[in-house]
């Protein structure tokens, strides 16, 4: 069966510090991968999605970036965090572009102080 | 641009009763999918039900069913025989290769 992991589960970082959040998927090949941010009491905002290794589409201009160094690994990064980067970050995967049922990871709660 | 609107920030229902959550969307796509996801306090996103836009028949999953009105771009979720475990945030989503999510409806089920 397929599983998706995210770490860390919780992170507290000072403003201006770097960020690296990791997401890995097991049990499937060539998944589509997604990074979402959920601000407190809000819906999900799509940040990045990837249909293959090295292929990243950015949805929202910001100081975040994403990379996909391996087929089932998706990394969200920042060189300098802002207060507004605080939120709940969710990684998701899907198998087919058309049948886009997405399966979500457990999320990372990021607090920038 | 695609949009998904959930006009009910909060809803409440008594256990065993029925509740309907509203969702409207706007898309220029001809073929797309619609989803309802549930996010309990654990914050794990769980798929509740899905609907293919090209299918006229409304999707049903046990106590959960949808009322899909394609011309009106409406996709409401009906929960029958509500249970305490249904307490959660519910998100409507629409899309093809990317999903656009609504802002969510917080559902509270009371005993």
- In whole angstroms, what is the distance from residue B55 CA to residue B59 CA? 9
pLDDT for res B96: 79
The alpha-carbon gap from B81 to the nearest alpha carbon of chain A, in Å, equals 26
Write out pLDDT tens, residues A79-113: 999 999 999 999 999 987 556 789 999 999 999 99
Strand partners, B69: B74
Q: Cβ of A9 under 8 Å from any chain B Cβ?
A: no
Which residues does chain A have within 8 Å of residue B98's beta carbon, measured at their own beta carbons? 34, 46, 49, 59, 100
Residue A24 contacts by C-beta under 8 Å, 6 or more apart in sequence?
Answer: A4, A5, A72, A73, A74
> Which among B45, B96, B100 has CB closest to A104?
B45
pLDDT for res A99: 64
pLDDT for res B23: 98
pLDDT for res A97: 57
Q: Provide the 3-class DSSP secondary structure of residue A72.
A: coil
Using left for φ > 0, alpha for ψ between -120 and 50, and beta otherwise, residue B53 falls in: alpha
Instruction: Tell me the average pLDDT across A50-71.
Output: 90
Report whether A54 contacts A75 (CB < 8 A): no
> Which among B46, B93, B103 has CB closest to A42?
B103
Q: What is the pLDDT along chain B (111 residues), one digit of tens a residue?
A: 789 999 999 999 999 999 999 999 998 888 889 999 999 998 899 999 999 888 889 999 999 999 999 999 999 999 999 999 999 999 999 987 788 999 999 999 999
- Cβ of B99 within 8 Å of Cβ of A32? The answer is no
Q: Which residues of B7-40 are buried (b: 16+ CB within 10 A; e: fewer)?
A: eeeebebeeeeebebbbbbebeeeebbbbbbbbe
- In whole angstroms, what is the distance from residue B69 CA to residue A32 CA? 29
Q: Which of B33, B61, B97, B100 to mutate to test the interface with A (most CBs of A within 10 A)?
A: B97
Q: A41 vs B35, which has greater pLDDT?
A: B35
- Cβ of B95 within 8 Å of Cβ of A43? The answer is no
């Amino acid at each position: 069966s397929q599983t998706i992991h995210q770490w860390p589960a919780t992170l507290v970082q000072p403003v201006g510090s770097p960020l690296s959040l990791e997401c890995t998927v097991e049990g499937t090949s060539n998944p589509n991968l997604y990074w979402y941010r959920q601000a407190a009491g809000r819906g999900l905002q799509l940040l990045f999605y990837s249909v293959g290794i090295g292929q990243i589409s950015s949805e929202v201009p910001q100081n975040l970036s994403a990379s996909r160094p391996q087929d089932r690994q998706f990394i969200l990064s920042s060189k300098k965090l802002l207060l507004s980067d605080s939120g709940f970050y969710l990684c998701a995967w899907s198998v087919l572009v058309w049948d886009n049922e997405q399966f979500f990871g457990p999320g990372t709660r990021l607090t920038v102080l | 641009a695609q949009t998904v609107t959930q006009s009910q920030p909060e809803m409440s229902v008594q256990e065993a009763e029925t509740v309907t959550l509203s969702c409207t969307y706007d898309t220029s796509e001809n073929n797309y999918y619609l989803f309802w996801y549930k996010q309990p306090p654990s914050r794990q996103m769980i798929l509740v039900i899905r609907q293919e836009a090209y299918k006229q028949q409304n999707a049903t999953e046990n106590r959960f069913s949808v009322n899909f009105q394609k011309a009106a771009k409406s996709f409401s979720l009906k929960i029958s025989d509500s249970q305490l475990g249904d307490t959660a945030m519910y998100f409507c989503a629409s899309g093809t290769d990317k999903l656009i999510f609504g802002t969510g409806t917080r559902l509270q089920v009371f005993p």
